[in-house]
Amino acid sequence: MTSEQIEVESYSGSRADERPRSLVIGGRRHIVARLLSESIEEPSKVTKERERRHRYHVLTEDGLVLELIRNDDGRWFLSCP
């Protein structure tokens, strides 16, 4: 699986970058209509991942279902199968 770094505007409540609100892909802004699911991947010795990742499945206002990933360093990525 590959990923492309993207720009995301997010809602910040009690935690930073709590929920994605909009994103920019290829210069086009997409508004998040619904958060479909959210999960956290903890670091793993098996896969040698060193940082926690937050995964979000979102539905945009124009009907796209996308998987977004936020690393602990605050960078956002679009997951591409």
Of 46, 40, 36, 27, residue with least CA distance to 66: 36
Query: Per-domain residue ranges for the chain?
Result: 2-80
- Give this prediction's pTM: 0.80
pLDDT digits (tens, 9 = 90+) for 44-64: 766 566 788 899 999 999 999
44: how many CB neighbours lie within 10 A of its CB?
Answer: 9
In this predicted model, what pLDDT tens digit does every residue of 4-18 receive, in sequence order?
A: 889 999 876 665 557
